[in-house]
């Protein structure tokens, strides 16, 4: 709920002062004919081949800025997209979570899922920002609950830029999938949020079984895996402030087995 790589910029030669184009202008001037779709509306949405992408500027009113998201390609195995944004004000408020998600079959508890393999490759073209890069998964006792809330939220932070931090406080450290993580826990409007935060810098290529994180929570925090249904499986970035920058997802693929 809370989550852009190199674009070619056109420079106007009509005046002595260079101009930085807006995200929408970049799309029209540089990317025309290449992307599948451009999303600049607050909740601009695209879906295809078992994946979906949302511009998702849910917190835009806490500051000022702009954001557009572009879908470049998709197949049954992955989706490629990018989001260009700039935000100011509301220093400690998340402005958006542009994300890609995997369409999943509802009605499966976490305990009934054998594995949740995912591969993602991403980068930011400007690190002078305050943002995270994270998986975001919701679970609920209601298999048909809408995908904006849940009983539990699992976040896996692959990138952390600036002084941003997860909801709640750090409750320990964990080793999952052969990597070391900080483990944070807190409440967000009654929803228990667990966040695994990389301690080894940005992980721009990640190939892992996300089910391992749920297993860790089941064993160490009493997460009720047999009572919680998976409702979302998403990956994106949560901007706080900074930019203009582009979050590039060269490939995001995921499955539930």
* Main-chain phi, psi angles of 150, to 5 degrees: -170, -175
User: What Cα–Cα distance (Å) separates residue 203 from each residue in 129, 134, 186?
Assistant: 17, 10, 24
For residues 46 and 83, is the Cβ–Cβ distance under 8 A?
A: no
Annotated catalytic residue within 140, 153, 235, 245: 153
What whole-number distance in Å separates Cα of residue 158 and Cα of residue 151?
A: 23
Annotated catalytic residue within 80, 238, 245, 249: 238
For residues 73 and 82, is the Cβ–Cβ distance under 8 A?
A: no
Burial class (CB in 10 A: 0-12, 13-18, 19+), 235: buried
What whole-number distance in Å separates Cα of residue 26 and Cα of residue 68?
A: 10
Q: Which residues contact 67 (CB under 8 A, 6 or more apart)?
A: 23, 40, 55, 57, 60, 83, 84, 85, 86, 87, 95, 96, 98, 239
32 is a catalytic site residue: no
153 is a catalytic site residue: yes
The string of DSSP letters for 63-93 reads SEEEEEEEEEEE-SS-EEEEEEEEEES-TTS
Provide the annotated active-site residues.
Answer: 153, 238
């Amino acid at each position: 709920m809370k989550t852009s790589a190199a674009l070619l910029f056109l420079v106007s030669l009509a005046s002595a002062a260079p101009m930085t184009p807006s995200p929408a202008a970049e799309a029209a001037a540089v990317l025309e004919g290449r992307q599948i779709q451009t999303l600049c509306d607050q909740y601009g949405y695209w879906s295809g081949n078992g994946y979906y992408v949302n511009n998702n500027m849910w917190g835009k009113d806490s500051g000022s800025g702009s954001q557009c998201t572009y879908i470049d390609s998709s197949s049954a195995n992955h989706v490629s997209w990018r989001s260009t944004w700039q935000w100011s004000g509301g220093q400690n408020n998340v402005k958006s979570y542009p994300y890609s998600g995997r369409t999943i079959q509802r009605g499966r508890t976490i305990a009934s899922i054998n594995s949740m393999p995912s591969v993602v490759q991403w980068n930011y073209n400007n690190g002078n920002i305050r943002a995270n890069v994270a998986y975001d998964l919701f679970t609920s006792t209601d298999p048909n609950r809408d995908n904006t809330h849940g009983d539990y939220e699992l976040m896996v932070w692959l990138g952390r830029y600036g002084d941003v931090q997860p909801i709640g406080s750090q409750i320990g450290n964990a080793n999952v999938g052969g990597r070391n993580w900080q483990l944070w826990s807190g409440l967000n409007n009654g929803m228990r949020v667990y966040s695994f935060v990389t301690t080894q810098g940005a992980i721009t290529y990640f190939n892992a079984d996300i089910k391992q994180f749920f297993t860790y929570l089941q064993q160490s925090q009493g997460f009720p895996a047999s009572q919680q249904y998976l409702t979302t499986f998403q990956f994106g970035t949560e901007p706080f402030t900074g930019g203009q920058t582009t979050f590039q997802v060269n490939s995001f693929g995921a499955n539930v087995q």
